[in-house]
Structure 1
Amino acid sequence: MTLGWLSIVRLGLVQMSLGAIVVLCTSTLNRLMVVELALPALLPGLLVALHYGIQISRPKWGFLSDTGGHRTRWILLGMATLAVGGLLAAAGVAVMETRIAFGLVLSVVAYSLIGLGAGASGTSLLALLASHTAPHRRAAAATITWLMMIAGIALTAGGVGAILDPYTPMRLLQIVALVTGGAMALTVLAVWRIEAGLAPAAPERDPMPFLDGLREVWSEARARNFTIFVFLSMTAYFMQELILEPYAGLVFGFTPGQSTSLSGAQNGGVFLGMLCVGIAATGLRMGSLRNWVVVGCIGSAGSLGAIALLGQVGPVMPLTAAVVGMGFFNGVFAVAAIGSMMALAGQGRGAREGTRMGLWGAAQAIAAGFGGLAGAAGADAMRRVFVTDATAFGTVFMFEAALFLAAALMAARVIERPAPMIRANLVPGE
């Protein structure tokens, strides 16, 4: 009983809805606080970090979806929590115009709910995919769901940007209410009875307490090593997030519009990389997920090295091409890693897919917050050490490249053995 292509696309709609709400809170509201309200950039940065930090609860949500019988209820509960958090976050920005203290308290509550909702819904969704996606479809399933999430982010950001002007707090609240309400409705339709055809009945509730279940999963060498790999690789993945555009402006003289276009080109590369792996691994059966993870990590390291070296040459060299290359290999790595995650989630003690996905999701969330802050702090520190900005930023990019190479070596060890086990288990049922 596995998910068909239509069901995978339906679950991708949930990812699209999740991305649509989160991008408002991490991008649009961020800009409003810094520009329109003239607040320190550290404030929205700390709120975004809070929403990542709250997602350390992902293992708990995964465990609950393992033991509770149906994962769709946790997807819906998480999306509802996320929608409420998004509305409160917009209200917090509106309130800050007149009552800054109350607005800050409201924002802290809102971003906490956003972290909880994204953790509960996202973890349960990935656990459902991991439990019921056929092995040969995992790369394509990861590609479909993540491309749809990127589409949700892009469509929401573009659409909201087009109708938000002229900005007023009331207009902001109306738009966010429309986005969150639409995302919730789409999620309900997407998961409606999708699990009914997969499992005839809910499993009995696991009497094991959560901490004991988490220790049990952590005691599995493969799950533990993959958690370390996720943290290491995602730290490298996110280190450039806050410093790439400043680097383009300070070293290459990019205008704000040009640097924004640079980020768009990077995301275009990510899209192509994800699409490439989905077609090659599933449609053409070319290469294993482990090999694609290694290729993605090594290619990302090489692209970062090129970006760092271009700064020493000057503005005449094609920075955009190197950034698109980095995005491409980032996309290759991301989809292959998610597909590998789905495969590994089902290995080990049974009925623990959600707990494993939650553990890896928590590692990813912590790495996202830590990587971004580490990259920014590293760039600031190196600018005090070196005379030129090119050398300062280049040092951080080279360190990030080294982390990707270390992740490639670790991936080759952690992901290399499951394939024979998967094929052996498939033979009787094929």
Structure 2
Amino acid sequence: MKYDIVIIGGGPAGLSFARSLKDSGLRALIIERSGIADLESPAVDGREIALTHLSKKILAEMGALARIPQNEIAPIKQARVINGNSSYCLEIDSGKEDVEALGYLVPNYLIRKALYEEVFTSENIEVLTGTTVLDVQIAPQQATVMLTNGDSIATSLVVAADSRFSETRRKAGISASMQDFGRVAIVSRMVHEKPHDQIAYECFHYGRTLAVLPLNGNISSTVVTVSSDVASQIQALSDEGYAAEVQAQFNHRLGEMRLVGKRHAYPLVAVHANKFVKPRYALIGDAAVGMHPVTAHGFNLGLRGQDTLFRVIRAAQLQGQDIGALNVLEKYQSKQMRVSWPLYTGTNEIVSLYTNDSVPAKILRGLVLRLSNNFPPVKQMISKKLTELGGHEEAGLPFL
């Protein structure tokens, strides 16, 4: 079997890249280990994606955004960051920034479903499910992807989108920096008595972090982040006990809170590949960079990355160049690395500072929030990175 591009992984990054190829004339194959039913009807996973304006624009151009019910797209009008027990907070308001919203919350499973529906209509994209990759071999003129079912597939370019723990990244000999935070994020939807007014909160308490993200109606997505040794105790609470914990931790701002649906737990490990490309091989999505969720930029970074890779190989294709050549792929690496590395390291520094409960760290935490709130250039930079209103060329430090 011969394809122009083989995409390993049918998650959001792999599906969005495949959708970008829809009108390119390039023949592509997605290889996904899960079954077709998981692509057609992804399970609810509890994760809400905070889309930036750039990500919303990309998804709209793909046709995927129109496939998501409007009542599942919730605008974020304000963002507030609270430090410890202090009543002081960093506040960013969409009204003051002269934008409709800072970002838009959309369930991850609905994004995956919409992207698959778009890919399914693409005549030049095929999907192979229930299959895993055994090995990838690179030769000067082509790459060969060997599957566990015994098949071999020849291609000009392999694009790996197989999670932050990418097996093919390791087999390709690409190293990665990894940080295990020793913490677990517990996510759930909660209905509450008082309106949230479309305000997102990030509360850096001592010993744990709470994010409250406004959905439509009196419903919020809550993310409780605790050390791994405490997570099992939190998960063992009854639904009523868990709701009471969140309600108290949020200082009863939304009145009585009640759990809706299941709780989902995710260990927090951040990964950044030390390079994104080799001849005939490229990394996208979490396989390239797996972010800590505190700045809400993981999905957005992956969506930007696949868009950058597509633009680079499309330009090479139109100029009659080899889309798998290293000099072509390095253009993608250069652009994406310029965005991802500051974002990755900056986010990890923020996490380190705001989960450090020593006295000097507590003082510094408060000073950082006050500087961000009261020094206009810093606040403007934060807002710009949070919304990605500057478009595809914007790079730099993350929210906070």
Q: Same fold (TM over 0.5)?
A: no
Instruction: Identify, as 1 or 2, the structure richer in helix.
Output: 1
Work out which structure has the larger RCO, using CA pairs closer than 8 Å and 6 or more positions apart in sequence. Answer: 1
Specify the TM-score bucket, using the shorter chain as the normaliser: under 0.3
Instruction: Identify, as 1 or 2, the structure richer in strand.
Output: 2
User: How does the TM-score come out when normalised to structure 1?
Assistant: 0.25
